[in-house]
Amino acid sequence: MEHLQYVIEDSTIAYLLGVNNFTNDESAILELVKNSYDAGALHVNISFSGDQLVIADDGQGMDENNIRTAWMHVGKSDKSYEIFDANNRKRVLAGSKGVGRFALARLGNHVMIQTKKDSNAGIIWETDWNSSSMRQDSTKLSVGTTIKISGLREKWGKKKIENLVNFLSKTYNDRAMNISVTHPDFSGDIPFYLPQPVLGVNCLSCISINYNSHEKTLNTVIDSDEFLDSAQDYCPNINLQRKESEVDIVTELTGLPNYDLTEEQLEDIASQLGDFSGTFFFCMKPSSIECEKFLYKHHGLPAPMPGGVILYRNAFSISAYDGKKDWLGFGKRSRKSPAAASHPTGAWRVRENQISGKIEIDKRRNAMLQDLSNRQGLDENIYYQLFVDIILLGFKEFERYRQDIVRHINVKNESVSIPAKTPVSDKVVQNPKLVPTLTVQESMQLVDEIKNYRQESQDARQERTNVEERYKYDIRILNVLATTGLKASSIAHEMRNDRNSISANTDYIIAALQEYGMWDELLSPEKTRKAYKNVPVLLEKGREKCAKIVSFMDTMLSEIEKRQFQPGMQSIIVLLNRIKESWERDYAWISICIRVASDIEYYLSEDVLHVIFDNLILNSIQQNEKSNHLNIIIQGSLEDGLLKFSYSDNGVGLARKYQNNPMKILEVHETTRKNGHGLGMWIVNNTVNMSGGQILDIRGTKGFFAEFSIGGSL
């Protein structure tokens, strides 16, 4: 048998693995910088002069054997996981694929490398990408490697050098090796892109996350300097400077639609993912009005952190995750949920331009996060998906924390009164000719009043914007639900004309079979032995389904009647009994007990109670579908001008992910059901808030319990 090896032309492989394999010149230079880092260099200089680029380092260099067996062997890498440099600092090596050397082809037409290893003779290697040669260097070289690239493919002007310096600053995440650039338009060391931040100077909040793959937990620590000390008066139970939390990843993510996995499978993947950490910085520039309204401490930051989240694997960032791309999907999340932080029921999400920071992973520990073959990103497999979702869980902790603070502070703004006009402005409005006759004191007073009016006008415009933001997402969701409901009601209207025939069809069929003399035969044992041929049973099941269809039509058409939305004095016990009868008619396995005084009347529209209790009951049914029987208790009373209700069932209660913070179920799209929309409890909370009431308590350890009040605002 003859063993063969591939033969590839130098120019072809240089084009494929060099020119085509790097998206830009900066990433090609980075690849050569990585080589210097892996060689243990303490210093590397990138120098531009005319049509030549020189990259020189003081690393370990190469000898003749290295050139022959490694450098000239495509796809071979003799690099281990880590080395110790001359300063005895451990470095995790960046290279592993054995193709990074072809970055040279991206940069220029001709390359000469002068290199020396230990006490060995110096080596000169040259190529024009058609042929390569090697010879000993007679000059006295220091240990290290100098790469001279001539016939540059690009012009390196001022703007391109600035891009290179910024790129290297972002992509290098270590200080074991110093990188410097020499160019007519720039000369100096590459600065550190993400310095140690100072709260109130570089950012408003710092969010640190640490994922423990053994425990499958995410620990989040938030340090903040966003709010004035006076904000504490409105948030007596919240630490405005720091919050720590721990989330069980498997509990939090099991059952979500994007994970078609069992709990055991998810545990296995979460364990294999490996430990990682991240640090993020939250920045924003509120207006002076917002500062006053929400007690923000800083109108602007002296030196805000640069934007973007960078993914580092040990010392270097991963291409395509260098902060330019919104790879964590902040933009998509905020568009999906655009509610302001002050929104009483919506879920505020950080904006893409408000977050910067870094995630740090390890080459060995996080081996499941694999490079694409073109080295321009990661394979977005199930491990990558879980990786991103874990990071976003940390951001959810921050979003809930900050929104909780803003909501508490916003209470003070709901009772702000508009000052009445003063006599001076009244006089001037009635008779503008009085202006020249005003005293100095009256003139100053008039100026103050005009300033106040301007401020009020500006506040009103801002408030209008806030209100629009507040309800924009609510309206989008409710429009979808309303459209679905209208489609269903349209079908119900169309079918209503056939109501009598739908109800009586089964009886008509039985009567016809009896008249034709076939019914008794169909009742015989030989005709009813197989279920799918048992006509009497099939007809009876059909009768049950028809009854449900008729019930559905009646429910759909009654619940969208105009009178439901007209407010008036309502008997609460009557409304609740209607809800009870409707659900018990359709679900024989549930029992609803109403405990409300018969004399309680309240001014509101019927739809308010229907929306709230229909969603609560539907939630109970969906969470307890495997139950043989479910008991629901609704208690109500009238206290201080508000209706106060408690709702409870004896079912399985809340899922584990909500046990420590039951109020999370009120957030939009929060669900544990694979096909769930996560809108039921959000609609309940929205309706309660819009009525002027509030959710007072939620518990779910022994069955489900919710306590809330309802006002008459709807």
Amino acid at 55: I
More confident residue, 258 or 11: 258
Q: Give tens-digit pLDDT for 26-64.
A: 988 998 999 999 999 999 999 999 889 999 999 999 999
Tokens coding 213: 């793959």
Question: Which element (helix H / strand E) includes 45?
Answer: strand 43-49
Residue 494 has pLDDT above 60, yes or no: no
Q: What pLDDT, on a 0 to 100 scale, did the predictor assign at position 552? A: 67
Q: Which of 687, 709, 689 is nearest to 608 (CA)?
A: 687
Mean pLDDT of the chain: 85
Q: Give tens-digit pLDDT for 267-305.
A: 999 999 999 999 999 999 988 888 989 999 998 899 999
**Dist. CA 640–CA 638, nearest whole Å:** 7
Q: How many CB atoms lie within 10 A of CB 406?
A: 22
Tokens coding 372: 């694409």
More confident residue, 104 or 229: 229
More confident residue, 14 or 41: 41
Q: Tokens 């044992």 map to which residue?
A: 525
Listed by start position, the domains of the chain span 10-189, 205-413, 423-495, 566-714
Q: Do domains 10-189 and 566-714 have the same CATH topology?
A: yes
Do 11 and 129 form a contact (C-beta atoms < 8 A)? yes
Res. 365 pLDDT band, cuts 50 70 90? very high
Burial (0-12, 13-18, 19+ Cβ within 10 Å), 632: buried
More confident residue, 590 or 424: 590
Amino acid at 181: V
**Dist. CA 114–CA 149, nearest whole Å:** 11
Q: How many CB atoms lie within 10 A of CB 615?
A: 18
Do 31 and 22 form a contact (C-beta atoms < 8 A)? yes
Do 272 and 264 form a contact (C-beta atoms < 8 A)? no
- 535-559 and 572-586 are packed helices; what angle lies between their axes, rounded to 10 degrees? 150
What sign for the dihedral angle of Cα 234, 239, 242, 244? negative
Q: Give tens-digit pLDDT for 496-527.
A: 666 666 767 888 888 888 888 888 888 888 88
Q: What pLDDT, on a 0 to 100 scale, did the predictor assign at position 477? A: 60
In sequence order, which ranges of 259-416 are alpha helices (DSSP H)? Answer: 263-273, 288-294, 330-336, 382-410
Do 20 and 161 form a contact (C-beta atoms < 8 A)? no
pTM summary value: 0.74
User: Which one-letter DSSP state was computed for residue 128?
Assistant: -
Please measure the distance between the N-terminal and C-terminal CA atoms of the chain and give it in whole angstroms.
Answer: 88
**Dist. CA 380–CA 371, nearest whole Å:** 9
Residue 466 has pLDDT above 90, yes or no: no
Q: What pLDDT, on a 0 to 100 scale, did the predictor assign at position 375? A: 60
Res. 103 pLDDT band, cuts 50 70 90? confident
Q: Give tens-digit pLDDT for 567-618.
A: 889 999 999 999 999 888 878 899 999 999 999 999 988 888 988 998 899 8
Torsions phi, psi for 456 (to 5 deg)? -60, -40
Residue 96 has pLDDT above 70, yes or no: no
In sequence order, which ranges of 39-135 are alpha helices (DSSP H)? Answer: 64-66, 103-107
Tokens coding 377: 């990103």
Torsions phi, psi for 646 (to 5 deg)? -125, 140
Amino acid at 11: S
Phi-psi map region of 669: left, alpha, beta (phi>0 left; psi -120 to 50 alpha): left
Question: Which element (helix H / strand E) includes 312?
Answer: strand 308-313
Distance set, CA 75 to CA 18, 21, 71, 154 (Å)? 13, 14, 9, 27
Q: Which CATH number fits domain 566-714: 3.30.70.890, 3.30.565.10, 3.30.70.2660, 3.40.50.970?
A: 3.30.565.10
Q: Which of 551, 450, 542 is nearest to 496 (CA)?
A: 551
**Dist. CA 654–CA 640, nearest whole Å:** 31
Do 387 and 269 form a contact (C-beta atoms < 8 A)? no
More confident residue, 81 or 21: 81
Coil vs helix vs strand at 83: strand
Q: Considering the chain, what percentage of its residues have pLDDT values greater than 70?
A: 84
User: Which one-letter DSSP state was computed for residue 42?
Assistant: S
**Dist. CA 445–CA 138, nearest whole Å:** 90
Among the residue ranges 342-346, 365-369, 387-391, the one predicted with the least confidence is 342-346
Distance set, CA 276 to CA 24, 83, 310, 398 (Å)? 29, 21, 14, 18
Q: Tokens 């003749």 map to which residue?
A: 64
Coil vs helix vs strand at 158: helix
Please give the average per-residue pLDDT across 310-339, as a whole number.
89
Beta strand 568-571 pairing with 316-322: unpaired
Residue 465 has pLDDT above 70, yes or no: no
Q: Which of 323, 302, 301, 296 is nearest to 311 (CA)?
A: 323
Q: Give tens-digit pLDDT for 676-691.
A: 677 889 889 988 988 8
Torsions phi, psi for 44 (to 5 deg)? -140, 135
Q: Which of 572, 571, 594, 569 is nearest to 581 (CA)?
A: 594
Count the helices and strands in the chain (H runs, E runs).
19, 24
Q: Which of 421, 404, 412 is nearest to 341 (CA)?
A: 404
Q: What pLDDT, on a 0 to 100 scale, did the predictor assign at position 491? A: 59
Do 68 and 146 form a contact (C-beta atoms < 8 A)? no
Q: Which of 241, 249, 236, 207 is nearest to 224 (CA)?
A: 241
CA 621 to chain centre: 30
- 158-171 and 25-38 are packed helices; what angle lies between their axes, rounded to 10 degrees? 50
Contacts with 335 (C-beta within 8 Å, 6 or more apart), sequence order: none
**Dist. CA 211–CA 546, nearest whole Å:** 53
Residue 9 has pLDDT above 60, yes or no: no
- Cα dihedral: 487, 490, 492, 495 (round 10): -130
Q: Give tens-digit pLDDT for 627-667.
A: 889 999 999 999 988 999 999 999 999 988 888 889 989 98
Q: What pLDDT, on a 0 to 100 scale, did the predictor assign at position 418? A: 46
Among the residue ranges 3-17, 111-125, 133-147, 345-359, the one predicted with the least confidence is 3-17
Do 540 and 571 form a contact (C-beta atoms < 8 A)? no
Please give the average per-residue pLDDT across 211-215, as a whole number.
97
What is 10-189's CATH superfamily? Histidine kinase-like ATPase, C-terminal domain (3.30.565.10)
**Dist. CA 128–CA 112, nearest whole Å:** 9
Burial (0-12, 13-18, 19+ Cβ within 10 Å), 307: middle
Question: For the chain, how many residues are written?
Answer: 714
Residue 216 has pLDDT above 80, yes or no: yes
Q: What pLDDT, on a 0 to 100 scale, did the predictor assign at position 554? A: 66
Question: Which element (helix H / strand E) includes 115?
Answer: strand 108-116
Q: Give tens-digit pLDDT for 429-463.
A: 777 777 788 888 878 877 777 777 776 677 667 66
